[in-house]
Structure formats: C-alpha cells, structure tokens
Structure 1
Amino acid sequence: MQQNQKGAKLLIHILISFLKISPITFGGGYAMIPAIEREIVSKRKWLDEAEMSDVLSISGSAPGGIGINAATFIGYRLYGVRGALAAVVGMTLPTFLIIFLLGLFFASFNDNEKVNAAFQGIQIAIIALVCYAGYKMARTSIYDKSTFLMLTGTLFVLLFLNIHPMFVIIGGGLTGIVIMKVKDQLGFMKNATIDQKSKEKYKYTDYYMGDGI
C-alpha cells in the first residue's frame, strides 16, 4: 500500500512538473529546454546534466517534437509507462488549451498593433532561449577536438550544403561511432574513466520512491 502511495505521489509530481513546463511551448520544443532542465535537473534532481544532455540528443534525433519526446523519455525513465503517460499528458494538455483559445480569438486581435508588438517581443525571447539551450547542450557534448570538429562540420553542412537534416543526423551518429572505434584502436579510450560520483549521485529507486520527492 505504501509503495503504491509513493508511486502515485511520483506520478502526480511528474504531471505537475510538465504542466508547468508546457506553456513555454511558444517558439517550439527547443525553447522549452531551459525550463525542462531547470525543473528536472536543478529543482527535482531527477536527472543530472549529462543524462539530460543524452535525453535531449535522443529526443532531437527521434521523429516528433523535441519537447514531447523529452517528456516521454523522462517520464519513462522515472516510472515506466505510467510515468511516460503522466509526462505526455502534462506536456500536451496546456498546449492544446492555449492553442484552442488562441484559435478562437486570434481573428479578433490579429490586426491589433500592441498584440503584434507583443508577438515580436516573444520571438526575440524565443531566440534567446534556443541559444541558451544550445549552450547548455554544448557544455556536455563538446569535450574534445573531435566533437568540436563534428560541430563545425555539421554547421557547415547545414548552412552551405543542400542536405536533408535527417541525413545530417544519421551521418552524425555514424561519425560518432567511427570516431569512438578509432580512439579505441589508438588506445585513447584506455584512460577514459566514468565519473562514478555522477552515476551514484542519484539513487533513482530510493530517491523516486522514497522521501526525496
């Protein structure tokens, strides 16, 4: 009984967390990344920065919006299928209601100068949020010369070559595998160590199902 109560408590916390994050959908999923990181990593401490970076990388590569993908991954990581469902509901419900209301009243204030000025201001803020999200991801993703070269190469391809982004994503994954193989063959991986303190920082089952929520 106590275990069920703790599980229900966790589901409620997952739902509430993504209900708070969802209204920041203005500008798309990437604008939500700072809010997701603040809520999940800084406040709740459900994931650390490295794990959050992995989640965002997978979410951005998978089909669909990065926001809803990240919510699904995080919810599943915390409490399986039920956690994923709670996260998805929390992420989609406010967005649906906001878009529904905007659709009802948009025609009446579409020509309002103040409203248009507000939307322009929101667009600038969204650019800042996306740049901040990129900076946070770069901190844990770019850690040596090879990853920096991959970043610059990918930017060049996206800016100057007419290549579909899906092929860029697939190429990035394959390039990462090749680089790891080469490093392993050259012996660069022998001295690589895993930060055990980071791995042990969060005792997931004890924290999620205990009093740490």
Structure 2
Amino acid sequence: MGGGSQVMNIYWDSFKTFFHIGIFTLGGGYAMIPLIEEEVVNKKKWVTKDEMLDLIAIAQSCPGVFAINIATFIGYKLRKTRGAICTTLGTALPSFLIILAIAMFFSQFKDNKVVAAMFRGIRPAVVALIAVPTFNLGKRAKLNWYTIWIPIACALAIWALGVSPIYIIMIAAVGGYIYGRINKTSCNS
C-alpha cells in the first residue's frame, strides 16, 4: 500500500511544484529558471546542477515553450510519460487560466491607465529575472575569454544582422557535434 501512495505523491508533488512555479513567475520560461532550479535541484534534488544545465540547453534547442520543455524533461526523468504529463500540466495550467481570465475581462480594463502603468513597471523586473539566470548559466557553462565570443557573436548576428535564431541553433549543434568528436578523438589518443 505504501508504494502506490508514494508513486501518487510524486505525481502530485511534481504537478504542485510546477504549478507553483508557473503561477508565481512573470516573464516566461527564462524567468522561471531560478525558481525551477531552486525547487528541483536545491530543495527536491530531482536533478543535479549539471543535469539542469544540460536540460536547459536541450529545452532551448527544442521547438515549443521553454518552460514546458524543461518541465516535461524533468517529469520524464522522474516518472517517464506520466511524470512528464504531470509536470507539463502543472507548468501550462496557470498560464492557461490567467490568459483565460484576462481574455474574459480584457475589454473592461484594456484602456485602464493603472493597469498600463503596472505592466510598464513589471518590464524592468522581467529583464532582471531573465538576465540573472543567463549570467549564472554562462558561469556554469565555464565560459572564459576563449569562449565568451560565441554567445556574443550569436547575439550580434541575430540582433544586428537579422540572422534567424534557427540558423544559429543549427550551426551551434553542428559545431558542438564536431567539437565533441574532436575532443573525444584527442582524449582517446
């Protein structure tokens, strides 16, 4: 009896954890990174810091919503398909409910100056929520003076030259594969 109860508890716990993250995060997937990391790495210990870094990289390169991708991967690691469903629903449901509520009442407050001012005030906080995990990811990814040019060049190519992020991802994937093969060959020599 205890085993089935523990299994149900992990489903409920994973759903509840990602529901809380989803409901209390403004700014989308990247703003969720510190909360996800705090919950699943530091508190729950469902994944290690290195696994989290790998999951972030994979979630970024997969199509779809970043936060849902990472939640799905963590849920799958916990309890395969059912775990992935629980974490995915937990992440998506708050946004769905909030957007549904906004859509139902949007016409009543779309021209409200207080609401517009609130959203203008939230923007700088969202930028900080995205900048901090990006900086922390860079530190953990072991960026140094030899590799820091890569994200800078990618950002400039996208921003200044209008290069599609899809091409950047494809080039990075090929470059990472080649680097991995060369590194593997040099380690075996």
Partner secondary structure for residue 46 of structure 1: coil
Note the 1:1-213 alignment, pairs <5 A: 1-144=1-144, 147-185=147-185, 187=186, 189=187
1: CA distance, partners of 2:134 / 2:58 = 15
Aligned to 1:202: none
Unaligned runs of 5+ in 2: none
Aligned to 1:206: none
Give the number of equivalent residue pairs.
Answer: 188
**Deviation digits for residues 45-100 of structure 1, max 9, x if unmatched?**
21122111111111111000100101100000111111001101111112111111
The Cα RMSD (Å) is: 1.8
Q: CA deviation at 1:146?
A: 5.0
Partner secondary structure for residue 22 of structure 1: helix
Q: CA deviation at 1:179?
A: 2.2
Partner secondary structure for residue 76 of structure 1: helix
Partner secondary structure for residue 148 of structure 2: helix
Q: CA deviation at 1:38?
A: 1.4
2: CA distance, partners of 1:165 / 1:24 = 28
Partner secondary structure for residue 161 of structure 1: coil
Confirm or deny: 8 A CA contact 1:14 1:87 kept in the other structure.
yes
2: CA distance, partners of 1:38 / 1:92 = 19
Confirm or deny: 8 A CA contact 1:142 1:148 kept in the other structure.
no
Partner secondary structure for residue 31 of structure 1: helix
Q: CA deviation at 1:27?
A: 2.3
The alpha-carbon distance between structure 1 residues 149 and 184, as it changes in their structure 2 partners (threshold 3 A), is: farther
Deviates more, 1:176-185 or 1:126-135: 176-185
Identical amino acids, percent of aligned pairs: 34
Read off the aligned partner of 1:167 and give its amino acid letter: Y
